[in-house]
């Protein structure tokens, strides 16, 4: 095999956060796992499907631990490394923390990818870690059938600055910090139907660190944060709704979208993960009459290294949105609100 010219995206059956197990499958797998136990220091575990685990060391410091890895959604190895690293670090920011170090997770099909390509993947990941101000302090590698790369990331935060996905309050405004459509773009890319300018737009989004999460967590009017990744805005919104015991109302007309996302979705460039997502959590979603299938696909589209979904006090929403935009997230929008009611997501 020519290991120099192989397309990374063609070596995997799925790519990016579209590789995630469907929510329903994950729920089945975890249903009989033993309870974590009465660890007083464990502030956040698996109970609300939050973004990372949190362990309180003392009155001043919490440790945040997470891991994320996937197969390539692009062919450029440097870009693949950057995307995977940005996505993994995001979980720390989503909890309100700051990363302090990372460990690399690497699986490569020997004989299909040359050493130069693997070095570029690692270089891309290290470049993003350097941008976040952290070292890649170690890791682990294996020979596996499809290429896999990601990070285990450790971060810290003060106990009062931890932000869970379950802290939304009735009346809160909902802000989304990045545009949707990454899964649709990646599906088009794999079929050679994504224009160069659209590819550049996608890369710009998926390599943008969600570091704004650590800043927002210092604001007491920011009540809940989660990042929107493989389950789409509906799936991660539903996790916030269930964890908070509220209805999230999302205005689909206000959702920020990548420029070509609508036209590509209309043409049928969607991922299998989008359909699996809908099949997993449709019973928790209320859709408006007349919503087209392609519009629903935008709502369930798996986001690789997506934005943050933020619940904040309604009287501060415009100010907080302005701060997010000024910090370098021009696609950020207020997309809805949290309401008293059954734990579900209502699209209006």
Give the Cα separation of 324 and 222 in Å (integer): 12
Structure tokens at 139: 């890791």
Structure tokens at 274: 């989008």
Query: Which H/E stretch holds residue 336?
Result: strand 333-339
Which of 220, 186, 214 is closest to 303 using CA atoms? Answer: 186
Q: Do the Cβ atoms of 246 and 125 come closer than 8 Å?
A: no
Which of 135, 155, 137 is closest to 55 using CA atoms? Answer: 155
Give the Cα separation of 259 and 305 in Å (integer): 17
Identify whether 17 is a catalytic site residue.
yes
Give the Cα separation of 82 and 77 in Å (integer): 9
Residue 139 pairs with which residues in a beta bridge? 104
Give the Cα separation of 87 and 91 in Å (integer): 8
Sign of the dihedral defined by the CA atoms of residues 206, 281, 27, 15, in that order: negative
Which residues, 6+ apart, have CB-to-CB distance to 315 below 8 Å?
Answer: none
Residue 296: exposed, middle, or buried by beta-carbon count in 10 A (0-12, 13-18, 19+)?
buried
Q: Do the Cβ atoms of 311 and 172 come closer than 8 Å?
A: yes
Active-site option among 17, 62, 129, 312: 17
Give the Cα separation of 248 and 336 in Å (integer): 7
> Catalytic positions, please?
17
């Amino acid at each position: 095999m020519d290991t120099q010219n192989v397309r990374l995206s063609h070596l995997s059956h799925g790519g990016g956060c579209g590789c995630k197990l469907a929510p329903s499958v994950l729920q089945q797998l975890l249903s009989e796992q033993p309870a974590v136990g009465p660890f007083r220091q464990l502030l956040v575990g698996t109970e609300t499907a939050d973004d990372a685990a949190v362990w309180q060391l003392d009155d001043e410091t919490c440790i945040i631990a997470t891991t994320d890895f996937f197969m390539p959604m692009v062919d450029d190895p440097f870009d693949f490394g950057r995307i995977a690293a940005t996505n993994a670090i995001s979980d720390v920011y989503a909890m309100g923390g700051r990363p302090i170090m990372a460990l690399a997770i690497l699986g490569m099909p020997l004989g299909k990818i040359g050493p130069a390509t693997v070095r570029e993947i690692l270089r891309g990941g290290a470049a993003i870690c350097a941008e976040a101000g952290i070292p890649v302090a170690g890791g682990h590698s294996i020979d596996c059938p499809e290429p896999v790369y990601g990070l285990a990331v450790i971060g810290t935060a003060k106990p009062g600055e931890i932000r869970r996905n379950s802290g939304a309050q009735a009346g809160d405004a909902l802000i989304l910090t990045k545009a949707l459509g990454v899964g649709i773009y990646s599906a088009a890319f794999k079929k050679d139907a994504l224009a160069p300018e659209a590819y550049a737009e996608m890369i710009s989004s998926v390599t943008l660190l969600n570091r704004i999460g650590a800043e927002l967590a210092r604001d007491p009017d920011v009540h809940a944060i989660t990042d929107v990744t493989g389950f789409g805005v509906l799936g991660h919104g539903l996790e916030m709704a269930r964890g908070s015991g509220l209805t999230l109302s999302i205005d689909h007309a206000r959702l920020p979208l990548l420029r070509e996302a609508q036209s590509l979705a209309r043409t049928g460039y969607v991922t299998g993960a989008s359909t699996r997502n809908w099949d997993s959590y449709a019973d928790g979603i209320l859709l408006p009459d007349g919503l087209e299938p392609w519009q629903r696909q935008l709502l369930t589209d798996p986001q690789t290294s997506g934005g943050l979904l933020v619940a904040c006090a309604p009287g501060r929403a415009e100010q907080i949105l302005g701060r997010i935009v000024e910090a370098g997230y021009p696609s950020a929008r207020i997309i809805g609100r949290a309401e008293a009611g059954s734990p579900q997501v209502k699209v209006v």
